[in-house]
Amino acid sequence: MKGLSHYDARGRAAMVDVSAKASTKRHAVAHAFVKMKPSVLKQLSSNPKGDPLEVARFAGITAAKRTSDLIPMCHPLMLSHVDVACRIEARGVRITASVATTGPTGVEMEALTAASVAALTVYDMTKALDKGIEITDLHLLEKVGGKSGTYKRK
């Protein structure tokens, strides 16, 4: 399929061969938002399971490192850095995941996986208070490196 890299000549899903690509420094940042009621936000610090934002941060870091186990066509990458930040806001928790590597392929999927798993972890840690919590706005904010260059969400 023209324009999509994860298909072979017969149109079957395939892992991209990156063996001829140069290793370059690559970086990606992804975002997710966990929308919740103010009453749930107020109870975050007293969660009997532990600090939901710290658990979510660890879960996001672990998820970035395990992306190739979850997404079939992703390459296992040696990540040089992963950071997940969770910030409480008036309407919920804003999550930003930043991932870096030096390699032949980008880390967009690792950043998106980190943000989504961190958001799911916030939900898991707070669902007893409200099953109506929403995970929204999962998207790539930026990516740097590789032949396609820099992308910044507008």
137 flagged as catalytic: no
If one counts every other C-beta atom within 10 angstroms of the C-beta of residue 103, the result is 21
**Residues 34 and 119: beta-carbon distance below 8 Å:** yes
The single residue of 17, 51, 69, 124 carrying the catalytic annotation is: 124
- Rg over alpha carbons for the chain, rounded to the nearest Å, is 17
3 half-sphere exposure, CB direction, 13 A CA radius: 0
C-alpha–C-alpha distance, residues 13 and 24, integer Å: 26
Active site residue ranges: 124
